[in-house]
Amino acid sequence: MKVCVFGAGALGGHLAAHLIAANQCEVSLVGRGPMLAGIRERGLTLQTGGKEIGGRPAAATDNPASLPPQDIVFTGLKAHMLPAAAEAIGKLVKPDGTVVVLLNGIPWWFNYGMGGERGKQGTLPLLDPDGGVWKHIRPERVIGSIAYSPNAIIAPGVIKHSLQNRWVFGEPDNSSSARLAQVAKLVGDSGIETKATNDIRSELFRKAIGNAPNNTLCALTRLDTAQIASDDSIVKLAIGIINETVAVAAKLGFDLRKEINAAEMATRSRGRPGMRPSTAQDAMAGKSLEVDGLLGQTQVFGRELGVPTPVIDVCYALMRGLNTASRA
């Protein structure tokens, strides 16, 4: 079986290292810059649980057209990078192959497989402005995924993982398919804790409820998660983002209000100094930022459904300004 990780950054590289070490499939990587150079020179190394795993992939390239058709493509790109790569990904995966979308926040395929009017609406324009991701990758080939796995690139070709490592996979139509079982088994057999779910969107919102405040507020302040959780004024903003996201999710039909304690979630990281989520890492490195999937699409849903999002409105505007500055 041929498997490609398209976007060999911190999260994609983590998965690739596990798959290479397990040696259960032919693993290729698509990357760029110093990370790709490091992988080509020395292979891919993941530091996790007090040990190092990884090795050399079958191929590591910045030209996906040089690879043979793939049975499974895991997209490790962030949401704002996908439109530019969608055509290449669509051509890389076999016509009957699978694309496993690893993303934070709301994904472009969100409406696919849902009932009612929303299921007829197609792609989300904020995340897929010209519809190219929907057209080229095609939502019927997609398996959704959520990764609870903090990682950071510490040197070209070297990734450091800490804390939890749990990955959840699900079909957009909430079915229990053979390909869903195949993906969960492939990743699980590589040493990662996995779960197949029949309610992938609820899981997406569970992750977003934690990701949206931490990624946003750490990026805006440059503070780590422990400092954010220890500042009462910033905690109030985190609680606002959490409660607004929960309210939007409930209005969409994914009611998590009974299981989410916003105050507890906003202060959970007090004992974890030094941790910065991926958006904060990108902001500090002057990279383009993941903004629309974490905050923007929630705002759009809120306006469509009549759910006020005053804290998200302010933070989203600030994050868009920060992203403009980062790009400049």
Pairing type for strands 2-6 and 142-148 reads: unpaired
Spatial separation of the C-alpha atoms in residues 7 and 82, rounded to whole Å: 10
Structural domains in the chain, CATH included, are 2-198 (3.40.50.720), 202-327 (1.10.1040.10)
Task: Answer yes or no: is pLDDT of 155 > 80.
Answer: yes
pLDDT value for 285: 87
Residues 173-199, mean pLDDT to the nearest whole number: 97
Spatial separation of the C-alpha atoms in residues 304 and 272, rounded to whole Å: 37
Answer yes or no: are the C-beta atoms of 19 and 28 closer than 8 Å: no
pLDDT value for 292: 95
| Amino acid at site 185 | K
- The CB density around residue 176, as the number of other CB atoms within 10 Å, is 11
Spatial separation of the C-alpha atoms in residues 216 and 224, rounded to whole Å: 11
Spatial separation of the C-alpha atoms in residues 302 and 23, rounded to whole Å: 45
Task: Answer yes or no: is pLDDT of 167 > 70.
Answer: yes
Structure-model confidence comparison of residues 259 and 163, the more confident one: 259
pLDDT 10s digits, 245-267: 999 999 999 999 999 999 999 99
pLDDT value for 326: 80
DSSP code for 271: G
Tokens in use for 226? 């422990």
Paired residues of 262 in beta bridges? none
Residues 156-181, mean pLDDT to the nearest whole number: 95
Spatial separation of the C-alpha atoms in residues 303 and 282, rounded to whole Å: 28
Q: Percentage of the chain with pLDDT > 90? A: 85
DSSP code for 68: P
Q: How confident is the model at residue 271 (pLDDT cuts 50, 70, 90)?
A: low
DSSP code for 1: -
pLDDT value for 116: 84
Answer whether 0.95 is exceeded by the pTM. Answer: no
Please identify every residue annotated as catalytic.
207
Answer yes or no: are the C-beta atoms of 105 and 297 closer than 8 Å: yes
Spatial separation of the C-alpha atoms in residues 144 and 141, rounded to whole Å: 10
Residues 84-90, mean pLDDT to the nearest whole number: 97
Spatial separation of the C-alpha atoms in residues 272 and 312, rounded to whole Å: 25
